[in-house]
Amino acid sequence: MLLELTSVAKSYAATDETDSVTVLKDVNLRVAAGESVAIVGPSGSGKSTLLNIIGTLDRPDAGRVVLDGKDVSSLNEAQRAAVRCREIGFIFQLHHLLPQLSVLENVLVPTLAGGPEKRTEEPVTRAKRLLERVGLSGRLSHRPGQLSGGERQRVAVVRALINEPKLLLADEPTGSLDRAAAENLTELLVELNREEGVSLIVVTHAMSLAEKMSRLLELRDGVLVQRDHPYPPGDNTPDANRSRHRSSLRVENKDDEDDDDLRGSRGG
């Protein structure tokens, strides 16, 4: 089991203007290597808090978070930073690319802080391979301002994968994209989950994205509960999803076409 949460709880203390708030009460979760999981729930239910705890950006008040056999909830800040660098990739709603750097340079930024003890690929080689995989081989020297919204988010996905993480955490990854770009990114995440063998946890309001994951959970009243999957058992595997929703990311992308005029006006 790659990830295991046991009785995780999190509260925020009262202030002069607000009462104390209990966000997570008794969260239990097990995620196997290579599995994909979607977590849904209303705004303010604690989804992002839970993702931050899984990603070692925050600590639980109680309970344990075990990643690849290590209790990361008991580590100090330096140790947790090392875990984030080596074992976890993050994708956020906003791409957070550095505007002054090229696409290739942005992807390589996480390698400056370290990476896995034993890499299977040299970083630049891996970056170029993954950028080609997501349809951006012709954009290596472009800067973020010269890309469409969908292209920028695909760069962020590659950046999250550059250090060969075991776990990929995505917080509303399609939230800032139009429909076509969101569909392309959804399909890309499904395919990369299978191709790279990385476990994927997605927090989202978009059911079109959540339904593509192999497991669907809801955070309700501080507790994770299983949701019925919209597809019959065995019908939501990555292979089945790809056969139903095969995209053409390697050749051309609908969101690229929608933003041709935008790139042209920016000299891209």
The residue extents of the domains of the chain are: 34-265
Task: Report, in angstroms and rounded to the nearest whole number, the Rg of the chain calculated over CA atoms.
Answer: 19
Least confident stretch, 64-73, 112-121, 199-208: 112-121
- For 70-84, the pLDDT digits (tens) are 999 899 999 999 999
Which of 7, 99, 88, 86 lies closest to 54 in space, CA to CA? 88
- Model confidence, pTM: 0.82
Q: What is the Cα–Cα distance from 181 to 168, expressed in whole angstroms?
A: 20
- For 107-124, the pLDDT digits (tens) are 999 998 887 777 888 999
Nearest 5°: the CA angle 225, 176, 113 is: 85
Mean pLDDT across the stretch 18-45?
A: 92
**CATH class of the domain comprising 34-265:** alpha beta
Q: What is the Cα–Cα distance from 143 to 242, expressed in whole angstroms?
A: 31
Q: How confident is the model at residue 93 (pLDDT cuts 50, 70, 90)?
A: confident
**Alpha helix locations (H) across 177-253?**
179-195, 207-210, 238-244
Q: Is the pLDDT of residue 232 over 60?
A: no
